[in-house]
Amino acid sequence: MADPSLIDQARSPVSTAPDPVRATAWLEALPAAAALFRRTGMLYAVNTLGREWFVVDNRAPLASQSWSVVLLPLGSSGSTLLTRVASGESPTTQQVPLGRDGRIADLRAVPFDDELLLLTATVTAAGDEHRTMSARVDRELSALMMLTPSSVRITDVAGRILQSNGAADLEHAAHRPATVRELWELDAPHDVANNRPLSFLDAPAMRALAGNLVRQQRLEVRRLGAQRVIESSAAPIRNEQLEVTGVVLLDRDVTDHDRLERQLHERQGREAELQHQVTHEREHLERLVEERSRALIASQEDRLRDRRLTAVGQLAAGVMHDVNNALNPIMAAAYLLRHYAESPDAVRDYADRIQKAAEIGAATASRVGRFIRQEPVHAGGDEALDLSAMVEEVLDLTQPMRLRRSSDAGEVVIVRQCAPTVSTRGLPGEIREALLNLVQNAVDAMPTGGTLTVRTFEEGADACLAIRDTGVGMSADVRERAFEPFFTTKGAKGSGLGLAEVYGIARRHRGTATISSVPGRGTEVTLRLPRAVGIETADAIPDAALLPVIPHHILVVEDHDDGREFLRRILMAAGHHVDAVATCAEAREKLASGAEIPYDLMLTDVGLPDGSGWDLVRYARRKVPDVRVGVITGWEPIADTGESHGAEFILRKPLRAAELQAHIAGRSAPASTTE
């Protein structure tokens, strides 16, 4: 503290203000940091200790430096004291802690004369205890500063950098900044958020000196010749009076972090993009597959339709061929009959010829009927079949096709090696279809002619059928895939369904289909179906002419006039007593009133004008259970077996007289085997 007597000493020789040189010499004598200020606030004189303690710019005139700057190291205390004294308060003193080392400054401000004010600062050393603690805090702080990867600087209130850590010292290796101003000049910071150069007053250190807390301000700075991005933070350091006495500056270099983050972001972006592409691609593929599948199904349906049309055409050709062959002799014989009507021998001869030809026509019609009445396995049940007989039918049916082929190219020779009967059970329509497909394939395989061998035989529990050709044969590949639906090597001409159907039909009949083939030599396809015990065929029906006729009382129900009349006459010719009616109503009436002479048998058509023949059958079963019933049907599929309706037998048109009479005599095969 400045001694009051010294002040008096200084005042006494001069009543007015001393010149600065003298004043300075006088100040030097004081054992304190001391400075004289004009009442206007500008510096007048300062001693050496004062220059050390205060902020005095040695290059600038003293009169241009104000106490608010010069006394910065004392916080605002110095200037506050002086202001109070300048405004007439009595001289005052104050203690101010200096720095962090525990030293205390005793401040004293007094009016020196009318014009000048004197400020002295005497530094008192801190106590031992305080020093020890302070030293420890210092060491801890140093350790902390060493550890952090951020750069840390501590400044005093004038912005002089008092302390910095290693990270900070590396930033500007060539020139270590001594003040925050120098640091700002070296960094040339650019404000990233606002995209403009950062003014010195906006620098984090300056804002912290002004009492603000600055958190992570993003700046682009120039360091070691490169542009770096930093996050700069700054906090004011305050004394006990909460006055700012310095700042802590903390910079974190986030350039690499930013780059990594950017890369990560880009990568995530690319991944999302890729994911999007994959999804898009997959959707595209799915759409494509769906479209193709739809197109494929459509084309398969087309093929199926084409194939059915082809089959129908084939069938029609076969039928026409047979029907014409049958009609020819009938027309000729009818003509000749009229011509030779007087000769009983000729009449009988032509009648025989007409009957034979008509039989052929009838056989064709019944074959076609069977073919088009294909009923699924579950609906119609199966029938006893003779594979040998079916082979004959199919060969007949395919004859026109084979003939056409033969005339185009080489001839196809047919060799039959069939056992007399090979019995199985199944759907005749399906078996016929399978045979048709196999014959078709064999013929296709022999474009320049060859031999088609058909064999039927029994082997163990199997009824077998084999069709062999001397055609092109199949490679192993083709053989493996031949049963696949739609697999064909015939291009647009093939449907690829033939063998698939054969396979399916064999399976449905609890049998197998196998292929053996040698490329260039030929192919044999074998069907094996479960064998059945023998069946009665039409041949087994005894010749009616040989049977003794027992006269029956018969009711005929048929709406077709010619049909009814012929039926009546045939029955009467055989010695029966016949009533014939055209409707269900009439038939019911006859049955109900027939007690006088009871009917033995009713023969009824199915399609009647006022109902179905089946209704009539049920009516008869209920009302007159003793009357036997036979049904005659044209083309209708028999959805149910005759027995369930109570019919004893079912006959198909055209009627064969011999067959009819065998049934009437009660000596025929059961209704279900009769076609």
Binding site for ligand ADP (CB under 6 A): 437, 441-442, 445, 469, 471-474, 478, 482, 487-490, 494-500, 523
Q: Given CA atoms 333, 336, 337, 338 in this order, what sign does their dihedral have?
A: positive
In terms of CB distance, is 318 or 630 closer to Mg ion?
318
CA dihedral 182, 186, 187, 191 (to 10 degrees): 70
Q: Is 398 in the site for Mg ion (CB under 5 A)?
A: no
User: Among Mg ion, ligand ADP, none, what binds residue 496 when CB lies within 5 to 8 Å by partner kind?
Assistant: ligand ADP
CB of 414 to ligand ADP, least distance (A): 15
CB of 437 to Mg ion, least distance (A): 5
Q: Which of these ranges, 68-76, 218-226, 440-448, 449-457, lies near Mg ion under the rule CB under 5 A?
A: 440-448
CB of 304 to ligand ADP, least distance (A): 11
Helix pair 387-408, 255-339: axis angle to 10 deg: 100
CB of 450 to ligand ADP, least distance (A): 10
Closest CA to 656 of 627, 632, 672: 632
CB of 485 to Mg ion, least distance (A): 12
CB of 333 to ligand ADP, least distance (A): 42
Q: What single letter denotes the amino acid at residue 537?
A: T
- Two structure tokens written together for 156: 């005093």
Q: Which of these ranges, 9-17, 169-177, 210-218, 491-499, lies near Mg ion under the rule CB under 5 A?
A: 491-499
Q: Could you say which of 441, 453, 523, 604 contacts Mg ion (CB under 5 A)?
A: 441
- Calculate the alpha carbon distances from 4 to 15, 109, 115, 120, 123 in Å: 17, 11, 18, 11, 17
In terms of CB distance, is 365 or 445 closer to Mg ion?
445
Q: Which of these ranges, 181-189, 363-371, 436-444, 604-612, lies near Mg ion under the rule CB under 5 A?
A: 436-444
**What is the number of the residue whose Cβ is closest to Mg ion?**
498
Quote the CA–CA distance of 594 and 550 in Å, as a whole number: 20
In terms of CB distance, is 469 or 648 closer to ligand ADP?
469
Q: Could you say which of 246, 498, 511, 522 contacts Mg ion (CB under 5 A)?
A: 498
In terms of CB distance, is 369 or 471 closer to ligand ADP?
471
CB 629 within 8 A of CB 671: no
CB of 406 to ligand ADP, least distance (A): 17
- Two structure tokens written together for 20: 């600065």
In terms of CB distance, is 444 or 579 closer to ligand ADP?
444
Closest CA to 204 of 248, 234, 179: 234
Quote the CA–CA distance of 192 and 182 in Å, as a whole number: 21
Quote the CA–CA distance of 65 and 47 in Å, as a whole number: 15
464 burial level (CB within 10 Å; 0-12, 13-18, 19+)? buried
435 burial level (CB within 10 Å; 0-12, 13-18, 19+)? buried
Neighbours of 377 (CB within 10 A): 13
In terms of CB distance, is 216 or 516 closer to ligand ADP?
516
CB of 402 to ligand ADP, least distance (A): 14
In terms of CB distance, is 487 or 566 closer to ligand ADP?
487
Q: What single letter denotes the amino acid at residue 298?
A: A
In terms of CB distance, is 499 or 587 closer to ligand ADP?
499
Quote the CA–CA distance of 534 and 421 in Å, as a whole number: 8
- Two structure tokens written together for 577: 């007593």
CB of 464 to ligand ADP, least distance (A): 17
Quote the CA–CA distance of 670 and 675 in Å, as a whole number: 11
Helix pair 255-339, 344-372: axis angle to 10 deg: 170
DSSP track, 456-513: EEEETTEEEEEEEE-S----HHHHHHTTSTT--SSGGG--S-HHHHHHHHHHHTT-EE
- Two structure tokens written together for 664: 């009437």
CB of 446 to ligand ADP, least distance (A): 8
User: Among Mg ion, ligand ADP, none, what binds residue 471 when CB lies within 5 to 8 Å by partner kind?
Assistant: ligand ADP
In terms of CB distance, is 218 or 307 closer to ligand ADP?
307
DSSP track, 541-573: SPPGGGSPPPP-EEEEE-SSHHHHHHHHHHHHH
In terms of CB distance, is 497 or 506 closer to ligand ADP?
497
In terms of CB distance, is 432 or 628 closer to Mg ion?
432
Closest CA to 473 of 516, 414, 434, 440: 516
CB of 471 to Mg ion, least distance (A): 12
Instruction: Please count the residues of this chain forming the interface with Mg ion, following the rule CB under 5 A.
Output: 2
DSSP track, 612-672: EHHHHHHHHHHH-TTSEEEEEESS----S-HHHHT-SEEEESSPPHHHHHHHHTT-S--GG
In terms of CB distance, is 486 or 566 closer to Mg ion?
486
CB of 434 to ligand ADP, least distance (A): 11
Q: Which of these ranges, 151-159, 171-179, 459-467, 497-505, lies near Mg ion under the rule CB under 5 A?
A: 497-505
CB 456 within 8 A of CB 422: yes
Q: Which of these ranges, 124-132, 271-279, 306-314, 492-500, lies near Mg ion under the rule CB under 5 A?
A: 492-500
CB of 513 to Mg ion, least distance (A): 13
**What is the number of the residue whose Cβ is closest to ligand ADP?**
498
User: Among Mg ion, ligand ADP, none, what binds residue 73 when CB lies within 5 to 8 Å by partner kind?
Assistant: none
CA dihedral 6, 7, 9, 11 (to 10 degrees): 170
CB of 441 to ligand ADP, least distance (A): 3
User: Among Mg ion, ligand ADP, none, what binds residue 523 when CB lies within 5 to 8 Å by partner kind?
Assistant: ligand ADP
Closest CA to 675 of 384, 435, 479, 340: 384
User: Among Mg ion, ligand ADP, none, what binds residue 10 when CB lies within 5 to 8 Å by partner kind?
Assistant: none
In terms of CB distance, is 284 or 490 closer to ligand ADP?
490
609 burial level (CB within 10 Å; 0-12, 13-18, 19+)? exposed
Contacts (Cβ under 8 Å, ≥6 apart) of 134: 100, 101, 102, 126
User: Among Mg ion, ligand ADP, none, what binds residue 478 when CB lies within 5 to 8 Å by partner kind?
Assistant: ligand ADP
In terms of CB distance, is 467 or 587 closer to ligand ADP?
467
Residues within the interface to Mg ion (CB under 5 A): 441, 498
